[in-house]
Amino acid sequence: MTPPQAQTYATHRYNPLAWNFTWLGSVVALALLIWTAVRSPSLERIALVLLALVAVMAVSLIRVFALRLQNRIIRLEMQVRLARIDREDAIEQLGLPQIIALRFASDAEMPVLIDRALAEQLTPDQIKRAVANWQADYLRT
């Protein structure tokens, strides 16, 4: 197995193609089933529309729940890292998107970035762009 490409600000975004195709496929199926049910209504076709709608909702919710769980895990990881560098107070002062952006910073540069983020109200993108020593996250889904 080859190691992943070195992650940087430019390459850190993750685009889950399999999920995108699954979601798109379920939306297309829903649209086609609605079209056939409108053209020739029947109890079976309406049931299929409802089933396809539930499938779209389920696929969407699975992604939302996975991202929420990851964000909670990142927050917990950052609480530990901030406690290690004696900056646990920052967890309450920063917004979750800022905390998530800070995870890419090394422990050495994090105190300065925290101070800047609080003083200048940096956006998550600004925080990530300010990271000098990028700490990769290859496990994000």
pLDDT greater at residue 11 or residue 53: 53
Supply the pTM of this predicted model. 0.79
**Quick check: 46 pLDDT over 50?**
yes
The whole-number pLDDT of residue 27 equals 96
pLDDT band, very low/low/confident/very high, at 1 (cuts 50, 70, 90): very low
Q: Which of 28, 99, 110, 23 is nearest to 63 (CA)?
A: 23
Condensed to tens digits (0 to 9), the pLDDT of residues 115-125 reads 999 999 999 99
**H-state helical runs in the chain:** 17-39, 43-84, 90-93, 96-102, 110-120, 124-130
Which range (11-20, 38-47, 58-67) has the least confidence?
11-20
